[in-house]
Structure 1
C-alpha cells in the first residue's frame, strides 16, 4: 500500500477537517518533534476527537508523511510550471523566490519538518521525499546556472541550498514584521545571493 493511500484514509483529500489536521500537525512536528507530539495533542489543538483523526489518517506517522508530501508537492509543481512557462531566468527565479517565501510565511516549511523528523519515516518514504526535494532544487539550479556562469555546478548547488536554508529560517525569525516587509527583504537578499557576480580583484 502506498503512503498516499495510508494518509488519505476514507476521507476526501481536500476536506476542511483534514486540512486543519495537516496545518496543526505541521506546527507541532516542526516545533516539538515527532517523538514529543501525541495524537491527543494534535486533536486538542485541532479541536477534534481522536476517532475523527483516524477517519483521515491511519496513524500519527501517516499524518507526518502527508504533511511533508503535501508541502513539497506544492512547491515543486509551482517551480516546474514557472520554469516551463517563463523564458527569462531572472523573472522565473524572482517568481520562485517570492512563492517560496510566501509558502514559509503561510505554513511551516516542509523541508525543515522533514529534516527534524526524518528518523520517523519508513525507508521508502524517506527516499521518495528526498527525491522530491532534489527535484525541487533542480528547478532552481537549472534557473540559476545560466545567471552565474562564473560558478561550477557544485557551487551553484551549494549556493542554492544555502539560500533555501536562509528562506526557511523566516518561519522562526519573522517576529514583529509584516508580510510585505518580509517578502521585500528576503527576496532582495535571495536574488542578490544567487545572481550577484563578484567583481574581480584588481
Structure 2
C-alpha cells in the first residue's frame, strides 16, 4: 500500500472534470445561469457538448459541482492544517495562503453561489451554507486563540470581512502580476485578523 505522502496520479478524466468546473465557474460568474449553455462551456473548455455530459448529467449538476468541489477542498485543507500545525499563527497563515492561491486560480465558489443561489435546489443551498459556516469556524477558532481581545461576534464579523476581501480579488483587474496581488492580499488578510485596532489615546 503506497505511503499517504506519495501523491496519486491525476487521471485525464479527473483533470478534464476540474477544467470544466473552472470554466463553468467563470461563465456562471460572468453571465446569468440561464444565459450559459453547455455548448458555451464546452467551447471554452475545448470539449464537445456530449463529452461534457460524460462528466455531469445536467447544467445544474455542473453548477453544484462548481460550488461544492472548491468548498470541499477549502474545508478539508483548513481541517488538516488546524489538526497538523500546532502553532495557531502558522496554521492561520497557511489557511490564508491556500485561500488566496485558490482565489487567484479560479473564481471563488462563494461569488458564484451568491449570483446563482436561486438556481440551486433548497437542500443543496442549505448544504453549501453549512459547509461555508464550518469553513469559517476553522478560521474563527484560530483567530480566537490569537485575539483574546475580541468577542465571539467580533471574531465572526472580522473573519467574514476578510473572506469578502480575498474573494473580491477576481472582480478587480489591477494589471498587477498575480504573485504581487497574492502577496499584497495575504499581508492585508494577516494584518486585518491579527493586528488590534488602534485605540484613542485620550
Gaps of 5+ in 1: 1-11
Gaps of 5+ in 2: 1-10
Take 1:16 and 1:98, find their aligned partners in 2: how far apart are those partners? 23
Query: Is 1:31 paired with 2:33?
Result: no
Take 1:73 and 1:13, find their aligned partners in 2: how far apart are those partners? 21
Query: Is 1:150 paired with 2:149?
Result: yes
Q: Which residue of 2 aligns with 1:90?
A: 89
Q: Which residue of 1 aligns with 2:39?
A: 40
Take 1:47 and 1:189, find their aligned partners in 2: how far apart are those partners? 37
1:71-121 deviation line (CA, Å, top 9, x unaligned): 000101111111111111111111111111100011111111111111111
Q: Which residue of 2 aligns with 1:6?
A: none
Query: Is 1:79 paired with 2:78?
Result: yes
Alpha-carbon RMSD across the aligned residues, in angstroms, is: 1.6
Could you state the TM-score of these two structures normalised by the residue count of structure 2? 0.89
Take 1:82 and 1:14, find their aligned partners in 2: how far apart are those partners? 28
Q: Which residue of 1 aligns with 2:132?
A: 133
Residue 39 of structure 1 and its aligned partner are, at CA, apart by: 1.4
Take 1:13 and 1:115, find their aligned partners in 2: how far apart are those partners? 31
SS in structure 2 opposite 1:48? coil
Contact 1:174 1:182 in 2 (8 A): no
Q: Which residue of 2 aligns with 1:115?
A: 114
Q: 1:200 to 1:33 in 2, by over 3 A?
A: same
Contact 2:104 2:182 in 1 (8 A): no
Take 1:124 and 1:159, find their aligned partners in 2: how far apart are those partners? 28
Take 1:92 and 1:122, find their aligned partners in 2: how far apart are those partners? 35
The alignment of Structure 1 onto Structure 2 pairs a total of residues equal to: 191
Moved more, 44-53 or 140-149: 44-53
Moved more, 34-43 or 72-81: 34-43
Q: Which residue of 1 aligns with 2:8?
A: none
Residue 180 of structure 1 and its aligned partner are, at CA, apart by: 2.3
